Amino acid sequence: MLANPVLGQGADPFVVFADGQYHQIMSAAAGDGSTLVMRSATSLASLSTAPEQKIFTGGNDGAPCCEWWAPEVHQIDGRWYVYVAADDGDNANHRTYVLSADTITGPYAFEGQLKLPGDRWAIDATVFAVGDATYTVWSGWPGDENGEQDLYIARLATPTTVAGKAVRISRPELAWETHAGTVGVLVNEGPAALVRDGRVYLTYSGSGCWTPEYALGMLTADASADLLDPASWTKSPEPVFAPAEGSGLYGTGHNNFFTSPDGTQTWIVYHAVTDPAGSCGADREVYAQPITFAPDGTPQLGTPSTADVPLPSGDPGS
């Protein structure tokens, strides 16, 4: 069994199983937030204690210096790409950047900015493929000032360039996703995609991460539809993964999905806090659990929990 929080202290988790190992990419816990590190292990049970391998430090090769947030690593056409937000020390200048490598553990080269349409504030970029097309979804400001974060989608021409327009597919408008606390910013962020049985399921985090109500919503589209048409997406009216009474967890959000070693299970990994007031701070911890699917294929994420979980199917243990 695995004791939750499976991956200990951390935020905005991203885990992938590849080449016989789990890999977790993140901003280094220590320092000024400019360094990206990766842990790798053959078992999820030992991933949290695996040594951190530094894969890139901001300020090098023309890269911005600071605030490297929410890195993700994706394999596209046989090569590995890291998508990550960073800035020059001013949050208003956060943009999305790309690194690339031949293998998941690097060494990584700085490819530059992913020039998203509008060239505005953009964080939490993820990518997913449907057929021959690859898309990126991110959280961005609709204007030039902070106050609202919306979700946008665009098609990638290459792993480092965007083709055509960007369209907004979600904004915080439902009661559950508009908790803003004293900060006053409305938030949709942290998109994560599952493409399954002809459908695209896109989870995202709604409400401020500084509030205890931070939770996951879901957008759904037919994979054969025009994903650049906002009308192709349907938003769940209620959160699909939210703090549960009695669980002791709050601010359950910013997830991703990964597959068990034998390919038979899908797991969710997410961060949460035990502070009933909510928090975006260093007290966030990373939890994981398997998910299931309804008869129609819709992901059933379960309930956030501190309970122990079994090893993923095919995991040899530590």
For 93-111, write each residue's pLDDT tens digit.
999 999 999 999 999 999 9
Give the span between the Cα atoms of 33 and 282, in whole angstroms: 12
Q: Which entry of 12, 72, 111, 315 is annotated as an active-site residue?
A: 12
24 pLDDT higher than 80: yes
- Mean pLDDT over 42-55 rounds to 97
30 pLDDT higher than 70: no
Give the span between the Cα atoms of 11 and 8, in whole angstroms: 10
**Whose CA is closest to 126, among 117, 135, 118?**
135
Residue 189 designated active-site: yes
- Regarding beta strands 186-196 and 148-158, do their DSSP bridges make them parallel or antiparallel, or are they unpaired? parallel
What is residue 318's predicted lDDT score, i.e. its pLDDT? 83
Tens of pLDDT along 165-180?
Answer: 999 999 999 999 999 9
Helix (H, G, I), strand (E, B) or coil at 4: coil
**Whose CA is closest to 276, among 247, 248, 253, 307?**
248
Residues 6+ apart with CB under 8 A from 162: 114, 115, 116, 117, 136, 154, 155, 156
Band (pLDDT 50/70/90 cuts) for residue 79 is very high
Percent of the chain whose pLDDT exceeds 90: 97
Band (pLDDT 50/70/90 cuts) for residue 33 is confident
Would 313 be classed as within a structural domain?
Answer: no
Would 236 be classed as within a structural domain?
Answer: yes
Residue 177 designated active-site: no
- Regarding beta strands 14-18 and 122-130, do their DSSP bridges make them parallel or antiparallel, or are they unpaired? unpaired
Would 251 be classed as within a structural domain?
Answer: yes
Q: Which entry of 67, 111, 124, 189 is annotated as an active-site residue?
A: 189
- Mean pLDDT over 129-135 rounds to 97
What is residue 262's predicted lDDT score, i.e. its pLDDT? 98
Helix (H, G, I), strand (E, B) or coil at 48: helix
244 pLDDT higher than 90: yes
Give the span between the Cα atoms of 255 and 286, in whole angstroms: 9
**Whose CA is closest to 111, among 165, 163, 156, 60?**
60
Would 265 be classed as within a structural domain?
Answer: yes
Percent of the chain whose pLDDT exceeds 70: 99
**Whose CA is closest to 137, among 78, 74, 204?**
204
What is residue 32's predicted lDDT score, i.e. its pLDDT? 66
pTM of the model: 0.98
How many domains does the chain fold into?
Answer: 1
237 pLDDT higher than 70: yes
Round the average pLDDT of the chain to a whole number and report it. 97
- Mean pLDDT over 210-221 rounds to 98
Would 314 be classed as within a structural domain?
Answer: no
Tens of pLDDT along 257-288?
Answer: 999 999 999 999 999 999 999 999 999 999 99
Alpha helices (H) along 168-227:
none
Domain, as residue range, for 199: 14-300
Would 198 be classed as within a structural domain?
Answer: yes
Q: What is the CATH number of the domain that holds 28?
A: 2.115.10.20
Q: What is the token pair recorded at 124?
A: 């939490």
